[in-house]
Amino acid sequence: MESVAAVVHRERWNKGKIVGQKAPFTPKDIWVLALAPN
């Protein structure tokens, strides 16, 4: 007997995203940190 494996095609979780290291801060993040109370 032959067994047929059920193949499920799932979409990749990172499809369309840039792969690699992310930039540490954006200018918006810097402003938020600068204006935040210490």
Q: What is the pLDDT of residues 1-38, one digit of tens each?
A: 567 777 788 888 888 887 888 888 888 988 888 888 76
pLDDT the model gives residue 33: 86
Structural element, H or E, at residue 35 = helix 27-35
What gap in Å lies between CA 18 and CA 26, rounded to an integer? 16
Q: What single letter denotes the amino acid at residue 15?
A: K
Question: What separation in angstroms does the CA of 33 have from each of 23, 27, 29?
Answer: 16, 10, 6
pLDDT the model gives residue 38: 64
Helix, strand or coil, per DSSP, at residue 24: coil
pLDDT the model gives residue 25: 87
> Tokens 């992310």 label which residue?
22
